[in-house]
Structure 1
């Protein structure tokens, strides 16, 4: 089969499109014939050795956490979707029994196990879910990692309730678009920030009430005038933005963080947290239970993910470069050859 493999660290330019043996399912495992895969920033970080476990001795590896297709083969003792049925893959492997935290064996598909940038992938049977009927294969492939991250951040960790005000800084990335969609569908008033007025307008199309351009001076004051206080902020940026989110929070508000693309928080005034009785919560990915709940939510509200751009599997390097340029809104999807 064809696959995109990383043999040497150093960036997306080191990806190789090559032939590898097709996987065979063992007991409790399923092989999925992939139709589409989707990119995540995790994949770029892996190519540069900037992700836990991304070391020379872990290579070669097939990247990719998100994928959809059909069941091609099942090992002994497997129930669930049968051969030929359309499925998508839950990328959190071996989460464990505790919904609060992942277990010691937890990892994400695509390192160390071979991932979805290939014609076939092998996963535990419990990580294969029926594809929602209202989604295309490309749309289904765009969902898993980012939508699961967003769902857990909003509902499990963030405790979102209808009518609350939600702030999503940095609209444009995959998770951010899912946050806007789901929070709006749940009845929240959603506001965003971006360095692009076009992306703010796209967020309105997804259900946001409005947003501000963070390139403007005193953007946080402008946002307060627009939204008032914020009940729940979901942050992937960190840096100076995090302190602004604490300032914007209502008394008793929550800030959920799942990333820090802008680096460490340089200055955090602690009294803003304890005097306002704020909850600061970390989150990452999610469990199989939350993955099923997220799919049910998507079906109930007839939601469709936003697809930024589509590339062929052999164009994975170009796709990663496009993602790093930060152009457009939504997920980047790969077409897998038949």
Structure 2
């Protein structure tokens, strides 16, 4: 089976650890079902895996990819939910399972001709979404949906700041927030990306770190160390920063603890989402007409081009891989 996988780990040159070739797999866990992958999407998680973050060498070779849409053996069109709960966990929210994982961490991922998943991890793909569009949802767009509608406490008419414009989560936050009646501001180091964010629906774009004309109700933080102080300073008293990632590092120069307790601010962690939230997200796209911006579509055999673009940061929206 043709697949894009981590053949080894390389913290300094992740592309050197990537291989696209036929791969024979061990039998999947009992009860898991195969899905013919019609489209998959790349995430920064895949690059971190090649660097060895969260993926130990003893699990190699590991097919990469968390996101996919495809068809089951009986012809059902589905979206694959990437969060794999431990069999012992019975709670309603799989993101609270301390033993949870994502596809491509303990179990083979989606950048292949087929992927095997638990039946509960499949939701129906709305006919209104193409397979490429649906494949963009399970990680970046689901993360954005939960940040806005589950974790932030935002209400229509309030102002949200999105740190960093252009990535999959950021573009989803802009489009979902605008259609939910929020005033959306963004920051970017690249003026062109800021302009494109405004075209997507952001009300205003600011250079990274620039003082804002007024404080905001919530900040969506995906960047981490490089923008943390700006995020805290941008919040009104009682505001909320929702953090889902640390692409620039996890150790800011200052944790801003005094400002957090004195003002007082709320710091809310948020990760991925549930299968039910993924269903609601897909329904929202059908209702609103929102569609994920797709930077490029590549055949599986050229997946390395997509990885290179992610590493270089020359991406606006999602990169889709079609087996």
Range of TM-score over shorter length: over 0.9
Which shows bigger deviation, 182-191 or 234-243?
Answer: 234-243
**Where do residues 232-243 of structure 1 align in structure 2 (5 Å cutoff)?**
232-243=218-229
1:199·1:328 contact (CA, 8 Å) conserved in 2? Answer: no
What is residue 116 of structure 2 aligned with on the other side? Answer: 122
Are 2:4 and 1:14 aligned? no
Deviations 1:95-119 (A, max 9, x none): 7515385213310011211111110
Secondary structure at the counterpart of residue 69 of structure 2: strand
What is residue 288 of structure 1 aligned with on the other side? Answer: 275
Deviations 1:170-210 (A, max 9, x none): 11111110111111111000000111121111111221101
- Relative to structure 1, is the Cα distance of residues 117 and 328 closer, same or farther in structure 2, using a 3 angstrom cutoff? closer
**Where do residues 1-338 of structure 1 align in structure 2 (5 Å cutoff)?**
1-10=1-10, 11-21=14-24, 28-49=31-52, 51-52=53-54, 54-72=55-73, 83-94=74-85, 96=89, 97-99=91-93, 101-214=95-208, 219-221=209-211, 224-225=212-213, 228-263=214-249, 264-336=251-323
Tell me by how many angstroms 1:27 deviates: 5.3
**Equivalent-residue separation in structure 1 for 2:299 and 2:94 (angstroms):** 37
**Equivalent-residue separation in structure 1 for 2:227 and 2:19 (angstroms):** 37
What is residue 78 of structure 1 aligned with on the other side? Answer: none
1:170·1:193 contact (CA, 8 Å) conserved in 2? Answer: yes
**Equivalent-residue separation in structure 1 for 2:179 and 2:128 (angstroms):** 17
**Equivalent-residue separation in structure 2 for 1:132 and 1:248 (angstroms):** 38
Tell me by how many angstroms 1:24 deviates: 6.8
**Equivalent-residue separation in structure 2 for 1:119 and 1:261 (angstroms):** 29
Tell me by how many angstroms 1:90 deviates: 0.7
2:309·2:315 contact (CA, 8 Å) conserved in 1? Answer: no
Tell me by how many angstroms 1:324 deviates: 1.4
Q: Normalising to structure 2: TM-score of the pair?
A: 0.93
Tell me by how many angstroms 1:21 deviates: 4.2
Secondary structure at the counterpart of residue 39 of structure 2: strand
Tell me by how many angstroms 1:25 deviates: 6.9
**Equivalent-residue separation in structure 2 for 1:143 and 1:60 (angstroms):** 26
Q: Normalising to structure 1: TM-score of the pair?
A: 0.89
Secondary structure at the counterpart of residue 220 of structure 1: coil
Structure 2: stretches of 5+ with no match in the other structure: none
**Equivalent-residue separation in structure 2 for 1:101 and 1:277 (angstroms):** 27
Secondary structure at the counterpart of residue 329 of structure 1: coil
2:64·2:110 contact (CA, 8 Å) conserved in 1? Answer: yes
Secondary structure at the counterpart of residue 177 of structure 1: helix
**Equivalent-residue separation in structure 2 for 1:106 and 1:134 (angstroms):** 31
**Equivalent-residue separation in structure 1 for 2:256 and 2:27 (angstroms):** 54
Deviations 1:124-144 (A, max 9, x none): 001111112221111111121
**Equivalent-residue separation in structure 2 for 1:27 and 1:328 (angstroms):** 38
**Equivalent-residue separation in structure 2 for 1:20 and 1:8 (angstroms):** 14
